Structure 1
Amino acid sequence: MTAEKGVLIVDDLELNRILLAEIFKGSYRVFEAGNGVEALELLRRETPRIDMVLLDIVMPVMDGFETLAVMREDAGLSGIPVVVITAGDDPDDEIKALNLGATDFITKPFDPRVVISRVRNIIERREIDEIKLENKMLRRQTLAQVQLQAILDNMIGGVALIEFSEQPHAIYMSPGFYSLTGCSKEVFEAHKDDFFFRVHPDDRPKLEAEIKAGMDGKAPISCEFRVIRVDDRPCWAHVQGIKISYPDSPHPVMIMIFTDITNEKENERQLMEANAELRYMAYHDSLTTIFNREAFSEMTSAMLRNNPDKEFVLICWNVERFKFINELFGKNTGDLILKDVAALLKREISHIGTYGRLEADHFAVCFPKDEIDIDALIERIKPCEDFQRNHYELVIHVGVYEIEDPTVPVDQMCDRANLALQSVKGNYLRRCAYYTDDLRSSLLREQEVVREMSQALEEGQFVPWLQPQYNHATGRIAGAEALARWEHPVRGLIPTGGFIPIFEKNGFISKLDESIWEQVCRLLRRWLDEGRPVVPISVNISRVDIYNPKLESILTGLVKKYDIPISLFRLEITESACVENPAQLIKVISSLRERGFFIEMDDFGSGYSSLNSLKDMPIDLVKLDLKFLLGDDEYQRGGNILASVVRMTKWLSLPAIAEGVETAAQADFLKSIGCNLVQGYLYARPMPVGDFEALLDASSLDTEQLVKKSENIIDVNEFWRADSQSSFVFNALLGPALVFEYNDGSIDMLRANDEFFSLLGLDSDHAPFHKLSLIDQICADDRERFISMIEAMSEGGEERAACICWRNGGGEELRRVKVRARMLAESDGRKIIFASLEDITDFC
């Protein structure tokens, strides 16, 4: 078939027209129309060049049925075969189309081979019908034989009349037939008793069998075969033939039409290769080349379905702290580790089960139970050499799900195995965990929470409870923290541990947070309207919220909507959020503070980089995690750490509030170290808004404490920075100097330069600084004079001096020292004092 034959594609979807045109490319001349009206115009204009119509049923302007009806009534168009494009799901449409003159159907989605075969058969059958009609008509004419040969000689493609006696014998072969094989007429004349000599040997039996069946049963034949051309060019041909009565031969005769389908076969080959490549890409992970999630799910489902009598396990794999490995050793090393794991799974599992990479560092395998020792398999994973040279241990954790019901979706099986995996994640002693009924119950509870969460939000089941914050020195309420509670209509109050972690995992926490924020703003507005006592309320900002680009506009929008002072609506951000993406967090906090929001760092002390958080984050208040800082405190370090942190916050001009205060002893300790703002069960548990309002009405307020700043005489922050000019000058002083804190008779050394240690007779690099007591260095008779000097300096604010007797290094040697002192800063009765010392022993 050459491009002389024309096919009209009528479809309102351009994509379908493009697909069909691609199928016919190189084999047929293609015409396109987007509806019935356009098709009829083309048909009337190009009738001689259009041999067949592919017609969609559902189209705008004029649909397929209307088009068929018009063509049937048009004598010039009624003979053109029409193949209807259908979805194949409505027999009534097909019957109606047939009644209107349709020849055949093709269904969506298109199979290129089916489309080509049907179109080719219909066009060739039409050609045969035309030939038969011409033959019948020519037999009635005196020049019938001459005219028939003229028609055959000028037909597109090869035509042959084959007589079958003892051997197939060619009565007639058209010029197109010689062109197809590349042989001359003389060559074929020499082989006229072996008509099949140019058919590929592998295809000859098939063709001969097809012809024999056609001659025996008088049915049309159709067959594809390879042609051995003289020039060795690859060539495919399609033959269609039918047994006819031929008056000039006493033997059976078959008329055969040969079509060159080489281009179609090449297009088909390329399409199959492209489909194979697309299928490979769709089912394989691009990095590791093993199966991806979709392929693993499909193959595992098939394996379970085909082996109902076997017991299987599904195992999910995870590389511990893989994100850290990528950051520490580089992405290339991380990729090599993933490839190593994939190669091991392929090598160990491919012959007994399925395997695949689900995502990132998550892999899954499924195989018959007891086929492999899982622990031994884990041990066989060896990281790449670059990784081993760094002496870093590669830790793999797995979760195992023993499959009881093979009809459960594979994704759900993976979820269960992952649930088991999460129970040992971070555990370096236990690498493997099995999915259990307890985990199943937990999963069911989680699914129930997920199923109900949206409706619960719409029905207002999530409400803020308030936990008061006190100044325990005065007993007054200084503020409150809003905590989300789920008041379920059936199950009552659901603990936060039963839904907050789930919401943080699936992202619903953002919607919950926004609801709580709005309820708090609405509450503050109501308090202001009713003239009630008002205290600032802190709301939580989750890690997920930090990445919300609309966070700032949401918060400012709420403040504007309810017209509340921004100072009453405070934002708490957990310290652990700093670890994930500190740059993003600093950016968000800075922007919010510029808008006027008061920022609190929640759970300080529970993260991995508390000091960095305190140094880098632009915050307004620190909330100390008392449970972490004190804990069991076997070595009694928690109290010292907490006291140091409180002192540090004071000199950074940051208010601090301790949360989780549960005992009177804890409260007394906090008061003794100057931390007066507290929150915890000792004072009040979180309570409904109504109970808090009653408590608020009966209490006095003390909101000033939440914003109190230290009164710095100089820029203390500048002094504490190691790279500041002030710090450089202090270290470079020629004489002894130190900085100490004074509070009600108690003196704690904070900093000292090398000259100071030299005066004591100590090595500054090895001196037990934390054990030095400044007051113990002063002779007992002079201690009162030293304290009086400090008290006088505090009252007057001016520099003071005193001569005291100094015990060198704590030993028996005494030296006379002149001390000059000046106050640097003061907060809550605590004073930071700078002192310079001068040895005047030789002058006394």
Structure 2
Amino acid sequence: MKKILVIEDEELVRENILELLDAEGLAGIGATNGYKGIDLAKVEKPDLIICDVMMPGLDGYSVLKTLRQETTFATTPFIFLTAKAAKADFRQGMELGADDYLTKPFTRAELLGAIATRFKKQQQYRSELEQAKDQLDYLMYHDSLTNLPNQLSLREQFKQIKSTHSQQLMTIMCVGLDRFNQINDDLGHSVGDRLLQAVAQRLVNGVTSEDYVARLGSGQFAIILPTTPHKKDAVFVAQTLLEQFSQTFAIDDQEIFVTASIGMALYPRDGRDIEQLLNQANKAMFQAKQQGGNCHQFYSIALSKGTSDRVALKTSLRYALERDELQVYYQPQLNLETGKIIGAEALLRWEHPERGLVSPIKFIPLAEETGLILPIGEWVLKTACQQTRHWQKMGYPHLKIAVNLSGRQFQQLDLRHRLVKIFTETGLRPEYLELELTESMLVENTDVAIRRLQALKALGVEIAIDDFGTGYSSLSYLQQFPFDTLKIDRCFIRNIQDNPSQAAITQAIIEMANTLDLKLVAEGVETDAELSFVVQHHCHKMQGYLFSKPLPAKEFESLLFSEKALVGIK
């Protein structure tokens, strides 16, 4: 039975409405004033609220504003009763989130019609929300470009196969396209994307229906061969796949030739969990690439020792901090209502004296692996906070800074104490720092992660979930964790105007985040069309090359002082 809360100080009106509701088989709950109405709403969780506008003590506008601030009542239908019929009064209520108005005196038919309409629209909303959830659930387990299963799906599939084939030899393959970045650079990302789609289909065609093909990212795929009694069986599959690549790909009336390198790890010999096996297979694939590509390689313990180049890079990294080789770059974040810079994301860069700028993709994993990420990460935090406070003193008092937090940093038991020390030393107030975390850092032990996040939020800092939808995404995490901001990964934004299904999924993410009162940041906005989409769908902030690439502190400062703003957002 639907429950309807009636907040009305006039007893006769209130009782008449309650009797009418009872006659219609609806459960009516009466409240004599706004304060009691709010208390009853929190206890009864009504399906719809009817509220008088003009009441002593707390008027209807204040009741609505108070309830809408709570997630529980964010979408509860709300109908105002009023003797006032001025457009300004209607506008005030609608801006606060009212769904309908009934002007006193009203008829029985008008009241029941308004209630029926609200319930119908709520049902439509719930149906649309369920569809959005289904779309997102599909996305959580599939790559949006190729429609192949993603890494999360691969993990779960491995568990299922392992439970039924625990004693059998299983092969995990990593398939990496050789020199794929060069294709992107020479022919463009659009051609590169279509090539990946064609490669995905060719891989699926090259294995049996029992085998499992997934995309890991960029030009890299994974394959599970559940039953390979002997190594020669895996070799046969690898050779078959390489032969598939001997035929060119026809993309946009041009033929593209690309080869692949395949690395293989065997279960249970090389590992018993998918992460370890993927890591071993990836090492073998890298070794195949080092041999010139277009070949396959099994993992061996010798590969774990790494190449001399990797060892040299790891050694150099140990001295990078003390030799002042590390820098913090700043990518502007812009308010999509004003077009003005309101903050920045701090990004770590390494200027090697001999190699030049070393890609973060190369040295961040090394820092994580060696534990150097702890002192480096703390240096980034302190440097970014110190620089932001400097800019605030120079006339930008509300400038905010977003800093990525590594998994190891998040697991530090004294992280809260370290942050307090940084705030004390730099003078930056906690509310101007946003800590960005990835989903993979939170899923291992959600209870512990929630407690740690709550302790950080108690300081006043904000928490952002980064790269949402690219890892272990689950809608339930958005509700469990005390996030303030959701960052939409660039893979959802790129070429969104040419991909209706991707646009629909991204719109669903935005609507879900707005329902949960999360601020939204669109990452990787590079074109006017992408900007138009995120503005149209009410993202709050953006960052991307359309406005600016990440900049050294002095260049960011010059950009800030120039008062450059984003144009074309209205």
Give TM-score scaled by structure 1 length.
0.33
Higher RCO (Cα < 8 Å, 6 or more apart): 2
Give TM-score scaled by structure 2 length.
0.48
Please identify which structure carries the higher helix content: 2
- Computing the radius of gyration from Cα coordinates, the structure with the larger value is 1
